[in-house]
Structure 1
Protein backbone atom coordinates (compact mmCIF):
# COMPACT_ATOMS: atom_id res chain seq x y z
CA UNK A 1 0.00 0.00 0.00
CA UNK A 2 1.31 3.43 -0.92
CA UNK A 3 2.13 6.00 1.72
CA UNK A 4 -0.53 8.64 2.39
CA UNK A 5 0.81 12.19 2.81
CA UNK A 6 -1.63 14.64 4.41
CA UNK A 7 -1.61 18.43 4.46
CA UNK A 8 -3.51 20.55 6.95
CA UNK A 9 -3.98 24.30 6.73
CA UNK A 10 -5.02 24.60 10.35
CA UNK A 11 -8.66 25.31 9.54
CA UNK A 12 -10.89 25.00 12.58
CA UNK A 13 -13.19 22.77 10.52
CA UNK A 14 -10.54 20.15 9.66
CA UNK A 15 -10.48 18.35 13.04
CA UNK A 16 -14.22 18.78 13.61
CA UNK A 17 -15.23 17.32 10.26
CA UNK A 18 -12.24 14.97 10.09
CA UNK A 19 -10.60 15.90 6.80
CA UNK A 20 -7.29 17.04 5.35
CA UNK A 21 -6.74 19.98 3.00
CA UNK A 22 -4.83 17.70 0.61
CA UNK A 23 -3.77 14.08 0.39
CA UNK A 24 -1.15 12.53 -1.84
CA UNK A 25 -1.10 8.80 -2.53
CA UNK A 26 1.49 7.80 -5.10
CA UNK A 27 1.36 10.33 -7.91
CA UNK A 28 -2.25 11.42 -7.22
CA UNK A 29 -3.17 14.46 -5.16
CA UNK A 30 -6.68 15.41 -4.09
CA UNK A 31 -7.34 18.86 -2.63
CA UNK A 32 -10.48 19.37 -0.54
CA UNK A 33 -12.95 22.14 -1.15
CA UNK A 34 -10.98 25.30 -0.45
CA UNK A 35 -12.31 28.76 0.31
CA UNK A 36 -10.89 32.18 1.08
CA UNK A 37 -11.30 31.76 4.86
CA UNK A 38 -8.35 32.69 7.07
CA UNK A 39 -9.32 32.12 10.69
CA UNK A 40 -12.43 34.22 11.13
CA UNK A 41 -11.75 36.48 8.13
CA UNK A 42 -12.92 36.00 4.57
CA UNK A 43 -10.06 37.15 2.35
CA UNK A 44 -11.28 39.23 -0.56
CA UNK A 45 -14.48 40.36 1.16
CA UNK A 46 -17.49 40.13 -1.13
CA UNK A 47 -15.38 40.20 -4.32
CA UNK A 48 -15.63 36.85 -6.17
CA UNK A 49 -12.42 37.51 -8.14
CA UNK A 50 -10.42 38.10 -4.95
CA UNK A 51 -11.98 35.16 -3.12
CA UNK A 52 -11.04 32.92 -6.06
CA UNK A 53 -7.46 34.22 -6.07
CA UNK A 54 -7.12 33.49 -2.35
CA UNK A 55 -8.65 30.00 -2.60
CA UNK A 56 -6.39 29.09 -5.54
CA UNK A 57 -3.35 30.41 -3.66
CA UNK A 58 -4.17 28.06 -0.76
CA UNK A 59 -4.56 25.19 -3.23
CA UNK A 60 -1.20 26.04 -4.83
CA UNK A 61 0.53 26.03 -1.44
CA UNK A 62 -1.14 22.75 -0.45
CA UNK A 63 0.00 21.11 -3.69
CA UNK A 64 3.56 22.29 -3.14
CA UNK A 65 3.59 20.81 0.38
CA UNK A 66 3.11 17.33 -1.11
CA UNK A 67 5.55 17.79 -3.98
CA UNK A 68 3.07 18.81 -6.68
CA UNK A 69 2.54 22.03 -8.57
CA UNK A 70 -0.24 23.78 -10.42
CA UNK A 71 0.93 22.28 -13.71
CA UNK A 72 0.02 18.84 -12.30
CA UNK A 73 -3.65 19.81 -11.86
CA UNK A 74 -5.96 17.88 -14.17
CA UNK A 75 -9.36 18.94 -12.77
CA UNK A 76 -10.94 21.74 -10.78
CA UNK A 77 -14.46 22.00 -9.46
CA UNK A 78 -15.84 25.41 -8.54
CA UNK A 79 -18.93 25.76 -6.40
CA UNK A 80 -20.28 29.32 -6.52
CA UNK A 81 -23.20 30.97 -4.78
CA UNK A 82 -23.95 33.39 -7.65
CA UNK A 83 -23.31 32.01 -11.13
CA UNK A 84 -24.00 35.43 -12.65
CA UNK A 85 -20.51 36.39 -11.37
CA UNK A 86 -18.88 33.58 -13.37
CA UNK A 87 -16.74 35.92 -15.48
CA UNK A 88 -14.95 37.37 -12.44
CA UNK A 89 -14.36 33.87 -11.07
CA UNK A 90 -13.32 32.55 -14.48
CA UNK A 91 -10.84 35.40 -14.92
CA UNK A 92 -9.07 34.49 -11.66
CA UNK A 93 -9.11 30.78 -12.53
CA UNK A 94 -7.67 31.61 -15.95
CA UNK A 95 -4.80 33.57 -14.41
CA UNK A 96 -3.69 30.44 -12.55
CA UNK A 97 -4.47 27.89 -15.26
CA UNK A 98 -4.39 29.64 -18.67
CA UNK A 99 -1.52 27.48 -19.96
CA UNK A 100 -2.37 24.35 -17.93
CA UNK A 101 -6.04 24.23 -18.87
CA UNK A 102 -7.32 21.42 -16.62
CA UNK A 103 -10.86 20.19 -17.06
CA UNK A 104 -13.05 22.45 -14.97
CA UNK A 105 -16.57 22.54 -13.65
CA UNK A 106 -18.39 25.56 -12.25
CA UNK A 107 -21.82 25.09 -10.70
CA UNK A 108 -24.07 27.28 -8.62
CA UNK A 109 -24.95 26.06 -5.15
CA UNK A 110 -27.47 27.43 -2.71
CA UNK A 111 -24.95 28.12 0.05
CA UNK A 112 -21.48 27.36 1.39
CA UNK A 113 -20.47 26.70 5.01
CA UNK A 114 -20.16 30.43 5.78
CA UNK A 115 -22.67 32.86 4.21
CA UNK A 116 -19.85 35.32 3.39
CA UNK A 117 -18.24 32.82 1.03
CA UNK A 118 -18.87 33.10 -2.70
CA UNK A 119 -16.72 30.23 -4.00
CA UNK A 120 -15.25 26.89 -2.94
CA UNK A 121 -12.78 25.04 -5.18
CA UNK A 122 -11.60 21.42 -5.30
CA UNK A 123 -8.59 20.25 -7.32
CA UNK A 124 -7.17 16.95 -8.50
CA UNK A 125 -3.58 16.55 -9.64
CA UNK A 126 -1.49 13.78 -11.15
CA UNK A 127 2.24 14.20 -10.73
CA UNK A 128 4.20 13.14 -13.79
CA UNK A 129 6.79 10.56 -12.87
Structure 2
Protein backbone atom coordinates (compact mmCIF):
# COMPACT_ATOMS: atom_id res chain seq x y z
CA UNK A 1 0.00 0.00 0.00
CA UNK A 2 1.19 3.50 -0.82
CA UNK A 3 2.42 5.14 2.41
CA UNK A 4 0.50 8.32 1.62
CA UNK A 5 -2.71 6.57 0.60
CA UNK A 6 -5.62 7.12 2.97
CA UNK A 7 -8.41 4.55 2.96
CA UNK A 8 -11.68 5.02 4.85
CA UNK A 9 -13.59 1.96 6.04
CA UNK A 10 -17.28 2.28 6.87
CA UNK A 11 -19.55 -0.02 8.83
CA UNK A 12 -22.54 1.45 7.03
CA UNK A 13 -23.84 3.08 10.20
CA UNK A 14 -25.95 6.18 9.57
CA UNK A 15 -24.05 7.85 12.42
CA UNK A 16 -20.87 7.85 10.33
CA UNK A 17 -22.52 10.03 7.70
CA UNK A 18 -24.47 12.19 10.16
CA UNK A 19 -21.54 12.85 12.50
CA UNK A 20 -18.70 12.67 9.98
CA UNK A 21 -16.41 9.80 10.93
CA UNK A 22 -15.22 6.42 9.64
CA UNK A 23 -15.23 3.03 11.38
CA UNK A 24 -11.53 2.94 10.56
CA UNK A 25 -8.90 4.95 8.74
CA UNK A 26 -5.93 3.25 7.11
CA UNK A 27 -2.95 5.53 6.55
CA UNK A 28 0.03 3.66 5.14
CA UNK A 29 0.76 0.78 7.54
CA UNK A 30 -1.33 2.30 10.35
CA UNK A 31 -4.94 1.37 11.08
CA UNK A 32 -6.97 3.61 13.41
CA UNK A 33 -10.23 1.99 14.52
CA UNK A 34 -12.91 4.25 16.01
CA UNK A 35 -14.51 3.44 19.32
CA UNK A 36 -16.42 0.21 18.76
CA UNK A 37 -19.35 -1.00 20.84
CA UNK A 38 -20.85 -4.41 21.47
CA UNK A 39 -23.65 -4.23 18.91
CA UNK A 40 -24.11 -7.39 16.90
CA UNK A 41 -24.64 -5.85 13.46
CA UNK A 42 -25.91 -9.14 12.02
CA UNK A 43 -29.12 -8.94 14.01
CA UNK A 44 -28.85 -5.32 15.31
CA UNK A 45 -28.94 -6.34 18.97
CA UNK A 46 -26.80 -5.60 21.99
CA UNK A 47 -26.50 -7.85 25.02
CA UNK A 48 -27.11 -6.46 28.50
CA UNK A 49 -24.07 -8.47 29.71
CA UNK A 50 -20.72 -6.65 29.89
CA UNK A 51 -18.74 -9.81 29.10
CA UNK A 52 -20.79 -10.56 25.97
CA UNK A 53 -20.53 -6.94 24.86
CA UNK A 54 -16.76 -7.05 25.29
CA UNK A 55 -16.51 -10.17 23.15
CA UNK A 56 -18.72 -8.58 20.47
CA UNK A 57 -16.63 -5.39 20.50
CA UNK A 58 -13.53 -7.41 19.75
CA UNK A 59 -15.26 -9.43 17.02
CA UNK A 60 -16.40 -6.16 15.43
CA UNK A 61 -12.84 -4.79 15.63
CA UNK A 62 -11.43 -8.02 14.19
CA UNK A 63 -13.75 -7.71 11.20
CA UNK A 64 -12.76 -4.12 10.42
CA UNK A 65 -9.05 -4.91 10.87
CA UNK A 66 -9.40 -7.74 8.35
CA UNK A 67 -11.00 -5.27 5.91
CA UNK A 68 -7.89 -3.14 6.44
CA UNK A 69 -5.63 -6.15 5.74
CA UNK A 70 -4.59 -6.23 9.39
CA UNK A 71 -5.37 -8.36 12.45
CA UNK A 72 -5.80 -8.33 16.20
CA UNK A 73 -2.13 -9.36 16.47
CA UNK A 74 -1.17 -6.01 14.88
CA UNK A 75 -2.79 -3.92 17.63
CA UNK A 76 -0.28 -1.68 19.40
CA UNK A 77 -2.65 0.52 21.42
CA UNK A 78 -6.09 -0.06 22.95
CA UNK A 79 -8.41 2.20 24.93
CA UNK A 80 -11.32 0.87 26.93
CA UNK A 81 -14.18 3.20 27.86
CA UNK A 82 -16.74 2.03 30.42
CA UNK A 83 -19.50 4.01 32.13
CA UNK A 84 -18.99 1.87 35.24
CA UNK A 85 -15.32 1.37 36.15
CA UNK A 86 -16.30 -1.46 38.50
CA UNK A 87 -17.33 -3.54 35.45
CA UNK A 88 -13.82 -3.55 33.98
CA UNK A 89 -12.55 -6.52 35.97
CA UNK A 90 -15.39 -8.66 34.56
CA UNK A 91 -13.94 -8.03 31.06
CA UNK A 92 -10.42 -9.20 31.87
CA UNK A 93 -10.83 -12.87 30.86
CA UNK A 94 -12.12 -11.84 27.40
CA UNK A 95 -9.39 -9.23 27.00
CA UNK A 96 -6.73 -11.75 28.02
CA UNK A 97 -8.16 -14.27 25.52
CA UNK A 98 -7.59 -11.87 22.61
CA UNK A 99 -4.74 -9.64 23.82
CA UNK A 100 -2.86 -11.88 26.28
CA UNK A 101 -0.03 -12.55 23.83
CA UNK A 102 -0.35 -9.27 21.88
CA UNK A 103 -0.02 -7.09 25.00
CA UNK A 104 -0.77 -3.69 23.45
CA UNK A 105 -0.30 -0.45 25.37
CA UNK A 106 -3.65 0.12 27.11
CA UNK A 107 -5.78 2.70 28.88
CA UNK A 108 -9.12 2.33 30.67
CA UNK A 109 -11.33 5.38 31.04
CA UNK A 110 -14.63 5.61 32.87
CA UNK A 111 -17.02 7.93 31.02
CA UNK A 112 -20.56 8.06 29.73
CA UNK A 113 -21.30 6.48 26.36
CA UNK A 114 -23.75 7.55 23.64
CA UNK A 115 -26.44 5.07 24.68
CA UNK A 116 -27.34 3.61 28.08
CA UNK A 117 -27.35 0.08 26.57
CA UNK A 118 -23.62 0.40 25.81
CA UNK A 119 -21.52 -0.96 28.66
CA UNK A 120 -18.11 -0.78 26.95
CA UNK A 121 -16.49 0.87 23.95
CA UNK A 122 -13.08 -0.16 22.62
CA UNK A 123 -10.79 1.86 20.34
CA UNK A 124 -7.59 0.43 18.82
CA UNK A 125 -4.59 1.41 16.75
CA UNK A 126 -2.76 -1.25 14.75
CA UNK A 127 0.53 -1.21 12.87
CA UNK A 128 0.48 -3.74 10.05
CA UNK A 129 3.44 -6.11 10.14
Distance 1:36 1:8 in 2: 16
Q: Which residue of 1 aligns with 2:22?
A: 20
Q: Which residue of 2 aligns with 1:74?
A: 76
Match of 1:15, SS state, is: helix
Q: What's the offset of the Cα at 1:41?
A: 4.1
Q: Which residue of 2 aligns with 1:54?
A: 56
**Gap regions ≥5 residues in structure 1:** none
After TM superposition, the runs of 4+ consecutive aligned structure 1 residues lying more than 2 A away are 37-43
**Gap regions ≥5 residues in structure 2:** none
Aligned residues: 126
Q: Which residue of 1 aligns with 2:117?
A: 116
1:52-103, Cα deviation, whole Å (9 max, x unpaired): 1101111111011011111110010000011111122222111111111101
Report the CA distance shift for 1:42/1:114 in structure 2 as closer, same or farther (over 3 A). farther
Match of 1:92, SS state, is: helix
Distance 2:4 2:77 in 1: 22
Distance 2:53 2:92 in 1: 12
**Alignment TM-score, normalising by the size of structure 2:** 0.91
